Structure 1
């Protein structure tokens, strides 16, 4: 059920203070300064869709600002996407100034100062989500903030009607599982929008590919860590687990499968080595991150068709026969 806060029944002398508190509690702490001298009127309706918060604001002309002091008192890092549905605004963040018209989108980061100036009564939809859920590099987000994104064509044209419908639909009409999945789809759309704007000309593919190479290198360097997991990898690269999995959609494998595959390859290589001081099968498994010997044996057999011990015996026998054949050929020369 939507939470609706309005100044309609608040005494005129208390409306501005009430509105400041309502906006700060519903969105993030902000300062609202009205432009006119008369009674201030505002209304905000908010719903939650999983971890996505969807709000609609209608208010009189004024300035909304998020200052360093207000940011210092906030605990969660959020990214917001605003959709101007009526009126205009001047938006400032990260040293850039944008004139926002009806139908435009703006992206902003609540961990850095910003301001909106509304010269007349306005309405806007605001979509807020945890920045970690977005899974985008901070450098990409910074390139998009402080700009107005038109929705007359391109990806914005497809995104605008979807967001407008989402903002006008009651969130409590969706079962929790559907709401969470829908929120995830919205986050993917926002990530696509940011990537499109941060890497124009098709170069957005370059950033993910470089990141995938770094992740492959990270996996190879940490195969022996039994705690190596998608969660650890995502944390090390400051991205979300969701974005990590999305990066590997074009790799033909999952992150977990890649870790297991690389571990098995290293185990197979080491087990094939000859020598009187060759390590035991369990020692090889532990060295490459397998904690449970039975699990390692099953995984190895599934990958290579034989047990680790059979693999070692086959490889050793093959090399031994090869050596004997070479010696025999030498004797005949």
Structure 2
């Protein structure tokens, strides 16, 4: 709890400005009245979610580009007006906020709150990247007041009010789970407001999924390609990234390995004057350990990378011994062996 109660009158405004900027994000605070200023702000953490309750005299908050440049982290905030009113401005839109209303704002773009008289509000802040919502969707929601009289807002209001009042500590596992639930609720709120009537939320998901797949294909050679790096690049949480792939029949990690193995198999099958080494091919497509690559390749295709290369490039019918002993019976001829090897490797039979 930070309060101006014990601060000398001449220092109250400076103290309050610093308290708000440290607790939330850097802002300019200007009281609207000339008398002694009174304000208090209480904050606690719930995993990566910060929950703050602020009560103060009439004032104006302004978040300018210069102040934004001082911030190291992109945050999205949801405010729940408890008492009093406010005029909220962001992205060229102005909204009158009354008790019970919700507002969504992005701390990476300028905004202001003007409170004409004493007020109280709850503020929920979370890192922008964990939300898993397109920037275009957030921009459609900012600068407007969301009523909690009906719709999804009516369901969200009591939950947020209870959460703001629950200042008792939670075990880390419970806190993280609660924070994850809040993220899902905020993402749903933004989706509902940015796609009225439920129009095309799946389209946005499909576009994001396509961008993720393209990113994977373009960065297969990067050994640091991982769910964490992909989520960071697309400004979404790892949790939301995994949710994107729930209906795809695979996981992000498996897709990365599958695509790397496909490219390795394609390169090892090329005929040419120079034969690339297995370790060179593996490294070129993001495998750090040749031994791990060989195990993964054999698990996927039933033959080793070298055997695969020989099967795809041999001209004279000669096959390594390991291939002639593949499951499915002992081949009688070299042609039979080639066919058995291709079948085990997941390739169509030879033609002609």
Structure 2 gaps, min length 5: 320-333, 340-351
* 2: CA distance, partners of 1:96 / 1:48: 31
1:8 and 2:5 are equivalent in the alignment:
yes
Residue 206 (structure 1) aligned with residue 220 (structure 2): no
Deviates more, 1:299-308 or 1:204-213: 299-308
Shift of 1:45: 0.8
Name the residue aligned to 1:150: 147
1:264 aligns with 2:261: yes
* Mapped contact 2:129–2:232 kept (Cα < 8 A): no
DSSP-derived class of the 2:245 partner: helix
Name the structure 1 match of 2:71.
Answer: 74
2:348 alignment partner in structure 1: none
1:215 matched to 2:215: no
Q: Tell me if the contact between 1:171 and 1:179 (Cα under 8 Å) persists in the aligned partners.
A: no
CA drift at 1:260: 0.5
Alpha-carbon distance in structure 1 between the residues aligned to 2:218 and 2:10: 64
Instruction: Report how far residue 105 of structure 1 moved.
Output: 0.8
* Deviation string, structure 1 residues 169-210 (Cα, Å, up to 9, x no partner): 1252x1223223322332232222223322333212212211
Match of 1:307 in 2: 304
Equivalent position SS for 1:148: coil
1:38-84 deviation per Cα after TM superposition (whole angstroms, max 9, x unaligned): 43322211111122211001122222222333333333322211001
Q: Structure 1 stretch 225-234 or stretch 79-88: which is displaced more?
A: 225-234
| Greater RCO (CA < 8 Å, at least 6 residues apart) | 1
| Distance in 1 between residues matched to 2:131 and 2:201, nearest whole Å | 16
Mapping for residues 33-72 of structure 1, pairs under 5 Å? 33-72=30-69
In 2, the alpha carbon distance for the partners of 1:63 and 1:276 equals 74
Please give the alpha-carbon distance, in whole angstroms, between the structure 1 residues aligned to 2:91 and 2:318: 65
Note the 1:18-167 alignment, pairs <5 A: 18-167=15-164
**Residue 216 and residue 318 in structure 1: after superposition, are their counterparts in 2 closer, same or farther (change >3 A)?**
farther
SS of 1:249 mapped into structure 2: coil
Mark the CA change 1:274 to 1:160 in structure 2 (over 3 Å): closer, same or farther: same
Q: Higher helix fraction: Structure 1 or Structure 2?
A: 1
Name which of structure 1's ranges 50-59 and 308-317 shifts more when overlaid on structure 2: 308-317
Question: Which residue pairs with 1:321 in the alignment?
Answer: 335
Any conservation in 2 of the 1:234–1:244 contact (CA below 8 Å)? yes
> 2:223 matched to which residue of 1?
226
Task: State the distance in 1 between where 2:129 and 2:239 align.
Answer: 10
After TM superposition, give the deviation of residue 124 of structure 1 in Å: 0.6
Q: Please say which of residues 106-115 and 307-316 is displaced more in the overlay.
A: 307-316
**Conserved 8 A contact 1:89-1:117:** yes
Give the Cα separation in 2 of the matches to 1:122 and 1:156.
Answer: 21
| Structure 1 counterpart of 2:172, from 176, 181, 184 | 176
Shift of 1:311: 4.3
CA distance in 1, matches of 2:251, 2:58: 51
C-alpha deviation, 1:125, in angstroms? 0.3
Instruction: Compute the TM-score of the two structures, normalised by the length of structure 2.
Output: 0.80
What's the offset of the Cα at 1:310? 4.5
Inter-CA distance 10–265: structure 2 relative to 1 (3 Å threshold)? same
Q: Tell me, yes or no, if the aligned pair for 2:21 and 2:27 is still in contact at 8 Å.
A: yes
Secondary structure of 2:53's partner?
A: strand
